[in-house]
Structure 1
Amino acid sequence: MGSPDVSLDSIETALQHMRLVGYMDVSSVVLLLYDYALTLSLEVDLVWRAPWSLLKLFYIVQRYLPFFDTAILVLHHQFAPELSIRYCQISHSMSGWMFVTGIAISEVILTARVWAVWECNKKLTFCLPVFFLLCWAPNFAMMGVFLKSMKFGPAPLPSLGCFVTASDDVLYLCWTCLMIYDAGMLLLMLIAGVRAYKTGGDSALFNVVFRDGVMYYAYLFGAFCASSTVSD
């Protein structure tokens, strides 16, 4: 009689986790749409009307990729009824790879900003790409391990979407790599900001480039620390 009780307890716990994840996914989509509405006019003026470049292409890809991988794929495999196991495997693989690719492209854009703040320093021209590869190659490898480890089973209720029965916990290492990378970027922004301030930098441009840049990286670093702790 003990085995059925354990099984029911496990299913109940899994359902609670699925509901929590579903709430977070819906909240993420709402925030995504809200952010898009707030910044659309600036995007039209500063991005769409600007000449085409590699950074502009990167921006557009990372800007609109979440509308597909989160707003469509993730919500569909979270809430759509009667999904096949094969569909769940494909859908989670697509959203996982698009997720890690989108974050990587976003980090490329932010890294280019750090490089520009350092006035295209020759040493950083070499060191930043190497640092990026050292931190991001493991992320892609660990995402592959995680996606291959995911197992799906029949959902206990018909409207639950994909029901994950097993997966590797390797993803916390991804957050660790992101934490290390953004700590490095934060340090570089702080050093450049202190140098600029000592040479008389106290203007609106200084505040936007350095103060906001440091605050953003500090926020990212804190978020990745929290995510790594929760995942672990």
Structure 2
Amino acid sequence: MAAVIFDYCLTISQEVQLIWGKKWGIIRITSTLTRYATLMGTAMTTYVTDRSKYTSCATFDNVSYSSHLISIIAAEGLLIYRTFAFWHQNKKLLVWLLVLAAFSILGAVGVSRIVGIFHPIDSPGPHSTGCAFGSGKGSAIQYGFLIIYELVLMILTIYKRFNFYKGARTRLVTTLYRDGMIYMACITMTSFANILIALVVPGNYTNILDAPQLVIHGVLASRILFNLRRESYQYDSAVIDGSLPLADICRTPGGHSIVFVNTNPGTVEV
């Protein structure tokens, strides 16, 4: 909770400059959900950790779980947007990633519920209110699907970097590649740690890294968007109001790069 509040204070000026006041498109909605669903989910997790004072946790747990799910999905949406931009807004790739994301979500929720039937959370003690802070072994399935999807995004980023942008030296391309690799690696390692915890520790303790997972997802995905828009602003201020028109970088036979930057509607400067 301290980490997400500290990061929010550090980046609120970037959010105001790059997000606020813009049209409510897909990117602004997704970034807003990522930021504030992360705050909400972390706050609810922090508040409800002490279960001794509750007699029923069903409603609170449903709202908390929903905020966590929305935050994770929105953060993945920002990562998809980054990959989409890195691939020159390839619409076929975007459709493929969205379909894969839908199957991953359905698979994670469905399989984890089935696993939860056969491996339920440990029974609460005799003095417990029945509000168990855990999700059982099924959570490992959810994080497994998440890791697979993150690896797909990483592979696509690496392939495009060395297949198309090999000779590129622009800050925009460097930022896209650096942020994608470092941040997604951090998210993947956190997910892997959650899988180990889910498989090893008792069921009532499987959510011990639940809040850190949420915070890392939300914070890093938001920073990817902020860095991307800040760097792209140097090329064309119009990208702040719409999806990123990543500069077309073409390799010449001699190995040089030609960057086409659209500075005015209907014109092209080399």
Q: Secondary structure at the match of 2:137?
A: coil
Aligned counterparts, 1:86-97, within 5 A: 86=56, 88-97=57-66
1:229 to 185, 196, 221: 196
**Structure 1 runs of 4+ with >4 Å offset:** 142-157
Q: Which segments of 5 or more consecutive residues in structure 2 lack a partner in the other structure?
A: 200-270
Q: CA deviation at 1:60?
A: 0.6
Aligned counterparts, 1:5-154, within 5 A: 29-71=1-43, 73-79=44-50, 82-84=53-55, 86=56, 88-141=57-110
Q: Distance in 2 between matches of 1:165 and 1:133?
A: 27
Q: Distance in 2 between matches of 1:165 and 1:35?
A: 26
- CA pair 146-105 structure 1, distance change in 2 beyond 3 A: farther
Q: Distance in 2 between matches of 1:146 and 1:39?
A: 39
Q: Which segments of 5 or more consecutive residues in structure 1 lack a partner in the other structure?
A: 1-28
- CA pair 203-167 structure 1, distance change in 2 beyond 3 A: closer
Q: Distance in 1 between matches of 2:178 and 2:133?
A: 45
Task: Give me the identity figure in percent.
Answer: 22
Q: CA deviation at 1:65?
A: 1.1
Q: Distance in 2 between matches of 1:52 and 1:110?
A: 19
Q: Distance in 2 between matches of 1:173 and 1:60?
A: 27
Q: Distance in 2 between matches of 1:143 and 1:75?
A: 24
Structure number with greater CO (CA < 8 Å, separation at least 6) is: 2
Q: CA deviation at 1:215?
A: 1.6
Contact 2:147 2:192 in 1 (8 A): yes
Contact 1:100 1:140 in 2 (8 A): no
- CA pair 128-167 structure 1, distance change in 2 beyond 3 A: closer
- CA pair 155-42 structure 1, distance change in 2 beyond 3 A: farther
Q: Distance in 1 between matches of 2:79 and 2:39?
A: 21
Q: Distance in 2 between matches of 1:93 and 1:150?
A: 17
CA RMSD of aligned residues (A): 2.8
2:155 alignment counterpart: 187
- CA pair 173-225 structure 1, distance change in 2 beyond 3 A: same
Q: Secondary structure at the match of 1:93?
A: helix
2:132 alignment counterpart: 164
What letter is aligned with 2:65?
Answer: G
**TM-score, normalising length: structure 1:** 0.74
Structure in which a larger fraction of residues adopt helix: 1
Contact 2:37 2:70 in 1 (8 A): no
2:203 alignment counterpart: none
What letter is aligned with 2:75?
Answer: S
- CA pair 89-144 structure 1, distance change in 2 beyond 3 A: farther
Q: Secondary structure at the match of 2:165?
A: helix
Q: CA deviation at 1:117?
A: 1.1
- CA pair 96-33 structure 1, distance change in 2 beyond 3 A: same
2:174 alignment counterpart: 207
Q: Secondary structure at the match of 2:132?
A: strand
Contact 2:84 2:90 in 1 (8 A): yes
Q: CA deviation at 1:216?
A: 1.5
2:165 to 188, 197, 203: 197
**TM-score, normalising length: structure 2:** 0.64
